[in-house]
Amino acid sequence: MLAGQRRVPSGIMIKIDLSPLVHAKNGARQVVDLNLDAITIEQLELNYLQGRLRFTRTDTGILVEGILDTEIATECTRCLTSFYEPVTFEPDNVISFPGAPLTLERPVRVTDNGWADISPVIREYIWMAFPSNPICSPRCQGICAKCGGNINLGECTCEGTEPIDPRWEVLRTLLDEPGEST
């Protein structure tokens, strides 16, 4: 969690009342606007979650579509600084009707009283949209390979010496020894 951030308890569920669609005709729709403050969905710490979801009744379940925006607490792969990575994603999944089995393709089902916890779908789509190597800034210089200081913050103490790859160190000894000519 970043400094000064208020966190909602882990394991939060994002429950939506879909009871009007369970017994509706195919094609019936419901629109839900999400505007959530800082939440944690399993290990994902989100600064916010905002957007609009459309739920449509189909023969096989309730289709959820939409566009959501969030920022995820992560660490820069270059300098190891914590920051929030903005992510936009478009969930497109089918929620099963009450009593249907849960599967990998359909990890969410409507309960008998008409509610559905869509947090597994949100989590899945966030992970798919999340970059594999998040970087805090395109100008990030990373950490010094020799002293480990954050170059962005001026923490490098190497005083301009270039780090030498230890695999090449043996070749340096050849320069120091008198060579034989053949």
Q: What is the tally of structural domains in the chain?
A: 2
Res. 173: pLDDT tops 90? no
Is residue 20 domain-shared with residue 71, that is, in the same domain?
yes
Per the structure, the complete domain to which residue 173 belongs is given by: 141-182
Read off the tokens for 141: 């210089």
Q: What is the pTM of this model?
A: 0.75
Query: 170 and 120, same structural domain?
Result: no
Mean pLDDT, residues 105-128: 94
CA–CA dist 136, 144 (Å, integer): 16
For residue 119, report the phi and psi dihedrals to the nearest 5 degrees: -60, -35
Kindly tell me if the per-residue pLDDT of 44 is higher than 80.
yes
pLDDT category of residue 157 using cuts at 50, 70 and 90: confident
How far are the Cα atoms of 92, 146, 148, 169 from residue 166, in angstroms, in the given order? 50, 11, 16, 5
Going by C-alpha positions, the residue among 71, 76, 67, 81 that lies closest to residue 46 is 71
Do 77 and 25 lie in one domain? The reply is yes
